[in-house]
Amino acid sequence: MKRFLLLAFLASVAVGSAAETSLLNVSYDVTREFYKEFNPAFAAEWKRRTGATLELKQSHGGSSKQIRSVIDGLGADVVTMNGVTDVDQLAKAKLIPADWAARLPHGSVPYTSTILFIVRKGNPKAIRDWSDLARPGVQVVIPNPKTSGNGRYSYLAAWGYALRQPGGNDASARDFVRRIFANVPVLDTGGRAATTTFAQRGIGDVLLTFENEVALTIKELGADAVEGVVPSVSVLAENPVVWIDRTVAKRGTAAAAKAYLEFLYSPAAQELAAKHGFRPSDPAILAKHAARFPALPLFSVPEVFGSWEKAQTVHFADGGVFDQIYARR
């Protein structure tokens, strides 16, 4: 009897895995609303194409926490992140090939974002550009670059701005970034916490955050409390997506996972991305929403820093430039 039950159990497991029709998307914090709308759209599309029902699950959290879970065994079929460094960790752990970025269009980046400013209503400190952040007496809220993608992009954007100034070099950029961080009263651990510090606690004159978070914050607080500021130049924040080879091979979900990510590039999905404040990679759709996405020159991290890995080790590793900036104060 016992053996029969065991066999029955094993059989049901086998049948269950043969008819596996679910995908787990492991993502970071602020894509929750976007994928909540995207998933039903893809499920409908998949049903139309194959006739099969696909169950889509999502998991959200701080980006490196999410990546650590995937490395430690969370069975993610696809990972949708806000930084190349995080996805590179998956390649280092041999979950995906090293050339993952080449497998999908635009370097596997279906939508992008950038870092913009939020200031108090009327912009009392007249903050227009990065140089204003380094002025004495201006308080700048940036989350910790060592713990948040948000802070990392803000830091790199400031550095890139300084390099582009006349006579700009590594030394001047370092001094510029040091002066900005001397103006940071609170180093929150995550982007959302920084928004709370600025918005609810009334700390700081300007908050640096992702474009989609800027729109959300202004909507939340009302246009009579805060306003957005577009600097002269900023950084291109890439949101790479990848399917996890090891998981999809084991679960037999390779086709569905690949189709899921490819669907992110479809016009319908690109429209959805725009709706949620992400810049679509499709130029036609980006142009259509030009009012929402101000045109400003955006430099990519590899363009200015050589590669993500280099930026990471030079600036944010222990004892790197960011640590040195604080040690010298």
Partner 1 sequence: MPSSRSSRSVLPGFGLSLGFTLAYLGLIVLLPLAAAFIKTAGMSWSDFVAATTSPRVLASYRLSFGASFAAAAVNATFGLVVAWVLVRYSFPGKKIVDALVDLPFALPTAVAGIALTAIYAKNGWVGSWLDPFWASAVGRLDAALPGVAWKEWLGVKIAFDRPGIFIALTFIGLPFVVRTLQPVIEELEPELEEAAATLGANRWQTVTRVLLPELFPALLTGFAMAFARALGEYGSVVFIAGNQPLHSEITPLLIITKLEQYDYRGATAIAVVMLVTSFVLLLLINLLQKWSRRYHRV
Query: Which residues here bind partner 1, judged by CB under 8 A?
Result: 62, 64-65, 67-68, 89, 144, 146-147, 185-189, 193, 196-197, 200-203, 316-319, 323, 326-327, 329
Bridge partner list, 300: none
CA distance 15 to 301: 47
Nearer to partner 1, 1 or 200 (CB): 200
- In whole angstroms, the minimum distance from the beta carbon of 114 to partner 1 comes to 22
User: Quick check: 275 and 215 in contact, CB under 8 A?
Assistant: no
* Chain mean position to CA 313: 19
Nearer to partner 1, 3 or 200 (CB): 200
CA distance 283 to 274: 12
Nearer to partner 1, 12 or 313 (CB): 313
Helix (H/G/I), strand (E/B), else coil: 96: coil
Crossing angle (nearest 10°) for helices 254-263 and 32-50? 120
Nearer to partner 1, 41 or 91 (CB): 91
- In whole angstroms, the minimum distance from the beta carbon of 225 to partner 1 comes to 13
Strands 55-59 and 22-27: parallel
Nearer to partner 1, 59 or 89 (CB): 89
- In whole angstroms, the minimum distance from the beta carbon of 94 to partner 1 comes to 14
- In whole angstroms, the minimum distance from the beta carbon of 62 to partner 1 comes to 8
Nearer to partner 1, 77 or 188 (CB): 188
CA distance 77 to 25: 6
Which pair of structure tokens corresponds to residue 92? Answer: 């280092």
- In whole angstroms, the minimum distance from the beta carbon of 262 to partner 1 comes to 29
Strands 234-239 and 111-120: antiparallel
- In whole angstroms, the minimum distance from the beta carbon of 321 to partner 1 comes to 13
User: Quick check: 282 and 265 in contact, CB under 8 A?
Assistant: yes
Nearer to partner 1, 144 or 253 (CB): 144
Strands 55-59 and 78-80: unpaired
What torsion do the CA atoms of 155, 278, 120, 131 make, to the nearest 10 degrees? 30
- In whole angstroms, the minimum distance from the beta carbon of 150 to partner 1 comes to 12
- In whole angstroms, the minimum distance from the beta carbon of 144 to partner 1 comes to 6
φ and ψ at residue 189, rounded to 5 degrees: -85, -20
User: Quick check: 192 and 149 in contact, CB under 8 A?
Assistant: no
User: Quick check: 241 and 80 in contact, CB under 8 A?
Assistant: yes
